[in-house]
Amino acid sequence: MIEAPIEQHLVKRVKETGGEVRKVIWPGRRGAPDRLVGWPEAGSGQRQLKAAHALVELKRPKKGAEAHQAREHARLRAIGFRVAVLSTIEAVDAFVEEMAR
């Protein structure tokens, strides 16, 4: 399986939960995540939830981030970005459920 079905599932699930997905191109930054996902603020009063955003790297099943990608992800996490590496439909579903709450 290639990563295209996983990407399509991510886009579908994020949109179903009120979010948006953008393809990101990072000139000069080899190994950076290829998707930006986000959901708007939700709720009201004391249940007000902050907007949720993350950078996502999509991989083929059973394939994790390559070394240069892991280094770039670590740099981004160190400055406060949430970075997810997703390689299965189940991982996409779990990620969306967590982020869209």
58: containing domain: 4-99
Question: What integer pLDDT is reported at residue 41 of this predicted model?
Answer: 77
The residues, ordered by sequence, that sit 6+ positions from 7 with a Cβ below 8 Å of its Cβ are 35, 58
In the sheet that 52-58 helps form, which strands lie side by side, from edge to edge?
Answer: 20-23, 35-39, 52-58, 83-86
44-66 residue pLDDT tens: 555 555 679 999 999 998 889 99
Question: What integer pLDDT is reported at residue 51 of this predicted model?
Answer: 78
Question: What integer pLDDT is reported at residue 11 of this predicted model?
Answer: 98
- Separation of alpha carbons 44 and 30, rounded Å: 40
Question: What integer pLDDT is reported at residue 2 of this predicted model?
Answer: 82
The domain tally of the chain equals 1
The CATH number of whichever domain residue 89 belongs to comes to 3.40.1350.10
- Separation of alpha carbons 10 and 79, rounded Å: 25
1-41 residue pLDDT tens: 588 999 999 999 999 999 999 999 999 999 999 999 999 87
Question: What integer pLDDT is reported at residue 81 of this predicted model?
Answer: 96
Is the Cβ–Cβ distance between 68 and 75 less than 8 Å? no
Is the Cβ–Cβ distance between 68 and 31 less than 8 Å? yes
Question: What integer pLDDT is reported at residue 43 of this predicted model?
Answer: 55
